[in-house]
């Protein structure tokens, strides 16, 4: 039985998510926005029967059993934790800090019967599903290097907001880099043990953000990760090197490319397509094309994320559909999803990269095992 869905957020992802959910048979029962006006406008546009700017009105809605949270990072933790405490299944975006992510992990451990996943849609993109399978089958031999590149236009909103503030989770590293950290660990079956990074903010003001306001979030980021410690038993051991380059000052076509290189060949996902070449081969071959099926590219939602989001919604349908209770779900269809524990690891890597950018040194990645004492300096 498919659960009723409550959606938090009125941004581009929420606008895309609602039609995808309905296309798979979910009923979107409620919508939350930062203001009554925002919530009312999108609810009327999408035909959602209930809207509000009060989070509890959605969380306590009797017909809502699955909550999808796509809002600014500083608000994610409090809504996700409260939703689990009330007994709702949760799909959400990343938290703002590692401490917030740890609190989400704690809540998920208290309620293991509830679905609690971080909605990194790239894990569900067919090109990366196929890439992971081919890596497991030894297509590239012993994995040596991973390289990811994302180039595109500015991530800033039309007015000053959280996307402008580094401390609120804005910037390329937190918004896009975190999804790549998660994806590379998922593909390799290993986690970063040390990182080195460089962050820059080239555009500090523009036509909409000026005066006393300054952008502090990064629009360029380059970082390296030394991987080690197989997380799934499929890893190739320690020593895999990953590099990630993000540049959001690029006019023209959006570029999203992830390449893995090994002793016997390479695989590269360009956009939504997967290519491969073995050592000694005559050239690159198309291994998986873009199957389409989730509409054309939407403004502010790159095609890889759009396709992945569609595949993730299909997996959610498979997880819930065969169950007799609306809140019951099967683990198999969403086994590849990012857990809250994965979210904590990713946020730890992000914060280590930020430290490295300040220090100029390699930084260790140490995932917290207990919440820091807020009064430790007293």
DSSP per residue, 124-135: GSHHHHHHHHHH
Mean pLDDT computed over every residue of the chain: 92
Judged by average pLDDT, the poorest of 49-58, 78-87, 141-150, 213-222 is: 213-222
Q: What is the pTM of this model?
A: 0.92
Judged by average pLDDT, the poorest of 166-175, 295-304, 351-360 is: 295-304
User: What span, in angstroms and rounded, lies between the C-alpha atoms of 305 and 297?
Assistant: 10
The domain locations on the chain are 4-122+302-349, 125-288
Residue 232 clears pLDDT 70, i.e. is over it: no
Rounded (10°) CA dihedral 341, 303, 319, 101: 20
Residue 10 clears pLDDT 80, i.e. is over it: yes
Q: Between 376 and 266, name the one with better pLDDT.
A: 266
DSSP state of 170: -
Q: How do residues 86-131 score in pLDDT, each as one tens digit?
A: 999 999 999 999 999 999 999 999 999 999 999 999 999 999 999 9
Average pLDDT on 320-332 reads 91
- Going by pLDDT thresholds of 50, 70 and 90, the confidence category of residue 66 is very high
In CATH, what class is 125-288? Answer: alpha beta
User: What span, in angstroms and rounded, lies between the C-alpha atoms of 234 and 332?
Assistant: 18
User: Given 3.40.50.720, 2.40.10.10, 3.40.640.10, 3.40.720.10, which CATH number is that of 4-122+302-349?
Assistant: 3.40.50.720
């Amino acid at each position: 039985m498919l659960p009723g869905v409550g959606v938090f957020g009125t941004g581009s992802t929420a606008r895309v998510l609602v039609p995808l959910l309905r296309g798979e048979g979910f009923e979107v029962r409620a919508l939350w926005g930062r203001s009554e006006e925002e919530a009312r406008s999108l609810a009327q546009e999408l035909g959602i029967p209930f809207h509000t700017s009060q989070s509890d009105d959605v969380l306590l809605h009797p017909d809502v059993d699955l909550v999808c949270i796509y809002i600014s990072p500083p608000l994610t933790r409090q809504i996700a934790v409260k939703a689990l405490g009330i007994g709702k299944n949760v799909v959400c975006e990343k938290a703002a800090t590692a401490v917030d992510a740890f609190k989400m992990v704690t809540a998920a451990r208290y309620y293991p019967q509830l679905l609690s996943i971080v909605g990194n849609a790239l894990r569900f993109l067919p090109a990366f599903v196929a890439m992971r399978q081919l890596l497991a089958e030894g297509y590239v031999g012993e994995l040596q290097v991973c390289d990811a590149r994302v180039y595109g236009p500015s991530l800033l909103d039309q007015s000053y907001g959280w996307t402008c503030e580094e401390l609120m989770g804005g910037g390329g590293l937190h918004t896009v880099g975190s999804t790549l950290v998660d994806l590379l660990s998922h593909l390799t079956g290993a986690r970063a043990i040390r990182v080195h990074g460089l962050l820059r903010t080239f555009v500090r003001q523009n036509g909409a953000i000026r005066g006393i306001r300054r952008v502090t979030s990064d629009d360029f980021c380059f970082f390296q990760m030394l991987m080690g410690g197989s997380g799934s038993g499929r890893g190739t051991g320690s020593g895999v090197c990953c590099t990630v380059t993000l540049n959001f000052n690029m006019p023209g076509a959006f570029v999203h490319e992830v390449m893995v290189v090994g002793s016997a060949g390479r695989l590269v996902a360009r956009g939504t397509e997967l290519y491969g070449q073995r050592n000694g081969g005559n050239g690159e071959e198309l291994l998986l094309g873009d199957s389409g099926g989730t509409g054309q590219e939407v403004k502010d939602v790159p095609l890889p994320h759009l396709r992945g989001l569609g595949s993730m919604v299909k997996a959610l349908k498979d997880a819930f559909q065969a169950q007799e209770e609306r809140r019951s779900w099967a683990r198999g269809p969403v086994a590849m999803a990012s857990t809250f524990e994965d979210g904590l690891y990713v946020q730890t890597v992000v914060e280590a990269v930020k430290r490295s950018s300040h220090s100029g040194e390699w930084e260790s990645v140490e995932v917290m095992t207990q919440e820091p004492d807020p009064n430790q300096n007293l």
